[in-house]
Structure 1
Amino acid sequence: MDIRPEHDAAGHRFVLYADGDSAVISEYFDIDRRRNFFRTVTLGQYRGRGLAAVLTEYALDDTRRKGLSVVPSCWFVREFIETNAAAYGDLLTSAEPHV
């Protein structure tokens, strides 16, 4: 399978293409130097192949390059960061400022 992750900045999403088809989409919004990932969707026929993890890694690497922190509202992104804390734990922030 030929896979290709892309950043669709205008659409505020990352897309992973598998054999030319849109297989995984991760949506976000940016505010105050934070990127909030709020939804990751894998189309049915592509589930269980680790493609969401490939796209999440790509998206988090892009986020780091841009100097942004991450608010993982999406459960998948949150669990990915927790599982890979050594590589991505430093990107975490909270959605609300601490008082």
Structure 2
Amino acid sequence: MFDPQRSYTVDDYWKMIEAFQDRKYKYIDGYIRMMTGGSLAHAQIEVNLARLFGNALLDSECVTYGPGAILRLSEDHYYCPDLSVSCDPADWTKKLWIHQQW
């Protein structure tokens, strides 16, 4: 397991993601935190929103991602949101994460 008080590298974060694929973690400024689980109601909302976004974006260049996608906000900030949308074709070929463009 990991020590929540210790500072980690991004490589450490990716190793944890690979080792515990059934869990969601966020990485903020060197610290790794496990994200809380949801409920059945939360899961239903997640699926309904993904369907709505997916349907609304069918004729666009945007792609809807579920909770398996990791969102990279910066070099030191990675999150696992329940839902994200990318309109950047460069994200479509990545295997693990999408990059937030501001």
Task: Using structure 2 for the length normalisation, give the TM-score.
Answer: 0.26
Structure number with the higher strand fraction is 1
Q: Which has the larger radius of gyration?
A: 2
Task: Using structure 1 for the length normalisation, give the TM-score.
Answer: 0.27
